[in-house]
Amino acid sequence: MADERLVLDEASVPDFPRGVKFRFNKTKKQWVILAPERLLEPDEIAVEVLKLCDGKVSISTISDSLAEKFQAPVETILSDVTEMLQDLADKGFLVA
């Protein structure tokens, strides 16, 4: 039986699955996502989003917070955040 693709939407509550860690690398002075045999170095924008992925708040709430912080249209932020998080979920770095 094939695994079904996790599809995120604004009500999804993203979190890091067991074995995946989002940490600040003090040596390199940058944020990283650590997974078994994989390392991802997210850019500054992705880091702002990932800091809010705590398994408690929805993508909608994350987007509202970022739209307020950066004074940007919430619809644009919601679309961009959902797309980015979906890409990470597709690669196994996030669950919801």
Domain boundaries, the chain: 21-90
Query: What is the reported pTM?
Result: 0.91
Give 4's pLDDT tier (boundaries 50, 70, 90): confident
CB neighbourhood size of 81 (10 A): 26
Q: How far apart are CA 94 and CA 96, in angstroms?
A: 7
Of 95, 92, 86, give the one whose Cα is nearest residue 40: 92
Q: Give me the pLDDT at residue 3, please.
A: 66
Question: Once rounded to an integer, what is the mean pLDDT over residues 16-24?
Answer: 96
**pLDDT for 5:** 87
Whole-number average pLDDT of the chain: 95
User: Alpha-carbon distance 51 to 58, whole Å?
Assistant: 13
CATH topology of domain 21-90: Arc Repressor Mutant, subunit A (1.10.10)
Q: Residues 20-41: what's their mean pLDDT? A: 95
Q: Is the pLDDT of residue 64 over 70?
A: yes
d(CA 70, CA 72): 5
